[in-house]
Amino acid sequence: MHVLYVIDSLHRVGGAEQGLVAMAPQLVRAGVQLDVAYLKESPGGFQPELVAAGARVFGVHRPGRAGTAAALRRLVRAQRPDLVHTTLYESDVLGRAAALSAGVPAVSSLVNAAYGPEHRHARGLSPWKVRAAQAVDAATAQGTRRFHALTRHVATSMGRRLHIPADRIDVVPRGRDPQLLGSVTPERRAAVRAALELDDDVPVVLAAARQQYQKGLDVLVEAFAEVRRERPRAQLLLAGSRGAETARLEALAERAGGVRFLGPRDDVYDLMAAADAFAVPSRWEGLGSAAMEAMGVGVPLVCADVPALRETVGSHDYAVLVPPERPAELAAALLGTLDDPAGAGVRVKAARARFLASFTLHQVSAQMVAFYERSLRRG
């Protein structure tokens, strides 16, 4: 089958982009002729990896949305794929329209639970813009053949908000290659800590996320101030790109102490292997890719107890779950994890087994091929 995958960008910092480049080789090996169209300029992005995997890559970014939409329509008509697969808002809206104009069936990924009250009242977002985006998304969704959601929570909430019947949504998580993730070993931990100039006995908490309101990093930095009062040598490492919350985070970090901003990193799995705890303090998530990756690497997890993260990590048997936006409770959970390595080790072992049972790249890619086949049979 021939699939044209439309995505907003190929930047290296986004979960959707990372998920695509991880799955591309598996899809091609399974017999999918994969084309990838991206709508925004992405210098230094994942283009080389996609080409190496056997995909054809098309940049359709043009000045203005109208120009990009026209270029995308021309591409769909020229390539005549069996399916157009869209991911992320801009690609959903423009990709669905382009597929409809060419008479090609479209499928879309639902990667986040958007348009809820937490989004309408989020810092930096306008409620009327959120509602307008929802209306456009819902209108274009009506002509879409099937949908892929990362979690059952996303399927349920987005089905309701976009008026999509439940029988048109399949749940397929993201996956990762266990060999690429690696595992925690004394040698790996020591090498990474040496590169960061951290002694082996320094307590290290790691988070890897964009510096945006959704990710709750401000809650983590506030919590870390309490961790530092109990563990004065503790270090908080923040890996991820700058964003709308950066100035606020830097101000909070100056007061907390012990916070290091590492910027975007291509060695996050190594950083995980060197950490004593991995924190995911998000206000909302679609899946929680970083939490899933931490399960695979084998680092103790402390997560916000939001629906998608709970669905991904399972329960308190696999991670410590804390109500979102509760810095004091998050601090207590981090200190508990640092103070009880034996208990954390039990959760780590269970979490890695859960990862291997549900989130390996081989399993997830096979589910995605099956999703494509079901979508074509509905024609």
d(CA 136, CA 155): 18
Q: Which two tokens stand for residue 302?
A: 């402390």
* pLDDT tens for each residue of 184-230: 999 999 999 999 999 999 999 999 999 999 999 999 999 999 999 99
pTM: 0.91
Domains in the chain, start-ordered, CATH in brackets?
2-175+360-377 (3.40.50.2000), 178-358 (3.40.50.2000)
Statement: residue 20 has pLDDT above 70: yes
The pLDDT of residue 379 = 46
Arithmetic mean of pLDDT, 249-273: 96
* Residue among 369, 319, 287 at smallest CA distance from 16: 287
Beta carbons within 10 angstroms of residue 35's beta carbon: 21
- Contact indicator for 165, 277 with CB cutoff of 8 Å: no
Q: Which two tokens stand for residue 247?
A: 């100035």
The pLDDT of residue 294 = 98
- Contact indicator for 163, 142 with CB cutoff of 8 Å: yes
Beta carbons within 10 angstroms of residue 312's beta carbon: 29
In whole angstroms, how far apart are CA 367 and each of 22, 193, 353, 364? 14, 38, 19, 5
* pLDDT tens for each residue of 98-132: 999 999 999 999 999 888 887 766 777 778 888 89
- Please enumerate in sequence order all residues whose Cβ is within 8 A of that of 92, keeping only pairs 6 or more positions apart, or say none: 86, 108, 137, 140, 141
Arithmetic mean of pLDDT, 85-105: 96
Q: Does the CA dihedral 247-248-252-258 come out positive or negative?
A: negative
DSSP β-ladder status, 277-280 and 259-263: unpaired
